[in-house]
Amino acid sequence: MAKKLKHNIELTVYSSLDDLPSKDKELVLRAKEVSKKAYAPYSQFYVGAAIRLDSDEIVEGSNQENMAYPSGMCAERVAIYYANSHHSDQKIESIAVTAFAKRFDVTHPVSPCGACRQSMAEYELKQNQPIRLLMTGESGEVYIAESIETVLPFMFNEIELKNE
């Protein structure tokens, strides 16, 4: 069901993981599984991302922290950069992002940080095709944006770099 949320952004909202179509549910479950491999000793916030490529293959990434901030890397960028390095001939169809924490329950959908949104937007522009973004927590609702542009409406792009 479409629902307007913060800042008048319209997303599809499912009440739980069980309500998702099977391909989306599989992607979210893979993101949840890879979140257990995150290295997050400082924030204790474990993020997982799973990407479905147009070949139907799924690649994963988890956040990797470092004592020397900001040397770590978010799960979304780990997964995207891996996908492009190992499957550069394929397009990204969907990205699922989820998280759990040691100190509290994550009962709301987790959204990517600004740097990850911009990185995802770059690949959306590169492949000239929208990338669906699925966001969830440990439990609760699942938000789906049909394009990264939905969650980053004023994205920085190559037009900004041209001196015309």
- Active centre residues (catalytic): 76
Q: Which residue has the tokens 């991302």?
A: 49
154-163: which pairs have CB atoms within 8 A and are 24 or more residues apart?
155/117, 155/118, 155/121, 155/125, 156/118, 156/121, 157/121, 157/125, 158/125
Burial 100-114 (b: 16+ CB within 10 A, else e): bbeeeebeebbebee
E strands present in the chain? 2-4, 10-14, 45-53, 58-62, 92-101, 132-136, 142-145
How many Å apart are CA 25 and CA 136, to the nearest integer? 11
